Structure 1
Amino acid sequence: MSDSSRNNFTNPSTFILQGIPGLETAHVWLSIPFCTMYIIAMLGNFSILFIVKMEPSLHEPMYYFLCMLAATDLVLSTSILPKMLSIFWFNSREIDFSACLTQMFFIHCTLLMESGTLTAMAYDRYVAICDPLRHSTILTNSIVAKISLTVLLRGVILTLPCPLLARQWPYCRTNIIPEPYCSHIGVVSLACADIRVSSYYGLFLLLCVMGLDVIFIAVSYIEILRAIFRLPTKDARLKTIGTCGSHFCAMLAFYMPLLFISLVNRLGQKVPLHFHILISNLYVLMPPMLNPIIYGVRTKQIHNRLLRLFTQKGT
């Protein structure tokens, strides 16, 4: 009988998402900030897409990449928040095995796309500041479209092995995932098999793919700073720095929590599990909320268009 139950559990039809272990009694209260983050992310990113579409003066490479970032953030937050809120509000913890792998794919694909989009935006700022006279000829609409397609295909192709590998492992320990969503490591760690291939591939995505993005962004900004400090006047330097401020803040919002999570996972063995889960949730949910706020406040063209939109509605 035990052998039969073990065989039946080898390919589970569903997983159970535990939410935030240790804080189950506070799930309803935790849903308030998470729901607020989701609403802000949806309204903010849809506003970015609408403003760029309706304002001809914003039809430039920088804002096209910003639209791609906004679309990616919408997919990322929608992949996670609705199911998470259903756990917090209705105790709806079950998720179909295929739906779990699909959620895993969209989460990690959009994270890779976000990193790639930030890299493309860094390249745009590099060309705009270091070679401004050739900016319009280097970053034509066709080139921007090709870069965007490359970012999309890179995310899809590199993420696809994660659910494909996860699907082939036998699961005979438990089907309870101690998280509110299906992360790659959260799923494969339940397998009763040697999962080193999955673990190494996840590490490859983190260190080699995102790591290379960070290196490329760092090199771009070193060159940008060198070009800025060669400008003749202080006002010119401050104005040029201002054009990069939004992008720099968005990079910090995306990469700094990732660095913090990596340090906590390796150095904070005594840190409670619920703290790990909360930090991981903030990592994937904060950028979709913060990016439209950062660009809406710090980008003059978007800020002015927003004010004009609300002023017109008010009158």
Structure 2
Amino acid sequence: MYNNVTRIKDFFILGFPGLSPEYYGPVSVLLFVLYLVIAVGNLFILVVVKCERSLHKPTYLIFCHLALTDLAFGTVTLPKIISKYWFNDSIISFYGCFVQIYFVHSLGAVHSFILMVMALDRLIAVCAPLRYTVLFTNTIVSVLCGISWILPMSWMVGLVLDAANLPFCNSNIIVQCNCELIATISLACANVQAVWAVAFGLAMFSLLLPLGFVIMSYFIIIVVVTRISSSDGRIRTLSTCTPQLLITFLYYMPRCFMYMANDAGLPINPPLRIVVVMLYSHLPPAVNPMIYCLKTKGMKDNLRKKTFIRKFYISTKKSMKYNI
């Protein structure tokens, strides 16, 4: 215990270092548009799947959980950095910062574990198609996704409480666009090795375990697909995995690159690092809804049907008007 030696009451979010004030307006507008795209796109997926009974299937329930994590992550991180550049509001309260840390890291881990559930969905669909509806029901998906939410959000409580109990009596400037655990505890005036080691271990567990399972499952899928005699069958089977592969690639590849760059000692200056982190954290939530809609047969068919019905309704209404 540190006997309440904390003296810092607020943190200062630095954002993009070296950004000239003349660009604050355009940057805030760009971030606001990005947040609108994330919010509208992912809410659209949630509403469509909720309202369309034909989409009440395991794959689309998983998409809903991913959309919910993307929506929550954007809502937790973007409004504060938008207000910094829009209203020159860079201050976040001490406990508000640690609340943001909790959700940033727990939602990232939740998303990673749900990607593992999605890989399991495709593995069973390709390797045991005749038993898919028995082995992978909506109930099973709900349980697995529920566990994916509960585990990270449980272990992050202890980690964030330990970090919040550190004594902060030096700088209060966080060199990031949001409160991030390592960037924040590096400001503590105490030995943070224990907290850092636990945070690193949990981060590696929530990244490497799902990633290892994803790689293994898609390796098995590729082996199974190569044994299909028909070339059309191989293409059709692989096409069902395309959305999942794109979503998984967008999430894991930039993170793996950053970890490998750190281990290899590649010089990445802080401004570039912050931009890269912002890109791989917020572009996938904006792009994922388009992947769900454009690369998934059920969603495409549903949207085509809705569009056709709407066009038919409008044309019928016009013809009735003219006849009258």
Deviation string 1:29-77 (CA, Å, 9 cap, x unpaired) is 2233322221111111111111111221111111111100001111001
Q: In the alignment, residue 11 of structure 1 is paired with which amino acid? A: R
Of the three residues 8, 18, 21, the one matched with 2:17 is 21
Deviation string 1:133-158 (CA, Å, 9 cap, x unpaired) is 11111112321221111001112023
Structure 1 SS opposite 2:240: helix
Partner of 1:302: 299
Kindly indicate whether residue 73 of structure 2 is the aligned counterpart of residue 76 of structure 1: yes
- Equivalent-residue separation in structure 2 for 1:92 and 1:58 (angstroms): 42
Relative to structure 1, is the Cα distance of residues 85 and 268 closer, same or farther in structure 2, using a 3 angstrom cutoff? farther
Q: In the alignment, residue 282 of structure 1 is paired with which amino acid? A: L
Partner of 1:145: 142
Kindly indicate whether residue 211 of structure 2 is the aligned counterpart of residue 222 of structure 1: no
Partner of 1:3: none
Deviation for aligned residue 1:269: 5.5
Partner of 1:127: 124
- Equivalent-residue separation in structure 1 for 2:278 and 2:233 (angstroms): 40
Alignment gaps of 5+ in structure 1: 1-6
Kindly indicate whether residue 89 of structure 2 is the aligned counterpart of residue 92 of structure 1: yes
Runs of 4+ in 1 over 6 A off after TM superposition: none
Relative to structure 1, is the Cα distance of residues 258 and 94 closer, same or farther in structure 2, using a 3 angstrom cutoff? same
Deviation for aligned residue 1:187: 0.8
Q: In the alignment, residue 70 of structure 2 is paired with which amino acid? A: D
Alignment gaps of 5+ in structure 2: 315-324
Relative to structure 1, is the Cα distance of residues 166 and 248 closer, same or farther in structure 2, using a 3 angstrom cutoff? same
Q: Provide the aligned length of Structure 1 versus Structure 2.
A: 309
**Deviating more after overlay: 173-182 vs 244-253:** 173-182
Deviation for aligned residue 1:8: 9.7
TM-score (norm 2): 0.90
**Deviating more after overlay: 242-251 vs 159-168:** 159-168
Larger Rg: 2
Deviation string 1:223-282 (CA, Å, 9 cap, x unpaired) is 111111111200010011000000000001100110222234344654331111111111
Of the three residues 9, 12, 22, the one matched with 2:8 is 12
Structure 1 SS opposite 2:241: helix
Structure 2 SS opposite 1:209: helix
Relative to structure 1, is the Cα distance of residues 189 and 310 closer, same or farther in structure 2, using a 3 angstrom cutoff? farther
- Equivalent-residue separation in structure 2 for 1:27 and 1:213 (angstroms): 38
**Deviating more after overlay: 284-293 vs 60-69:** 284-293
- Equivalent-residue separation in structure 1 for 2:255 and 2:186 (angstroms): 20
Of the three residues 216, 241, 244, the one matched with 2:241 is 244
Q: In the alignment, residue 19 of structure 1 is paired with which amino acid? A: G
- Equivalent-residue separation in structure 1 for 2:34 and 2:302 (angstroms): 23
Of the three residues 271, 274, 279, the one matched with 1:274 is 271
- Equivalent-residue separation in structure 2 for 1:12 and 1:182 (angstroms): 15
Q: In the alignment, residue 183 of structure 1 is paired with which amino acid? A: E
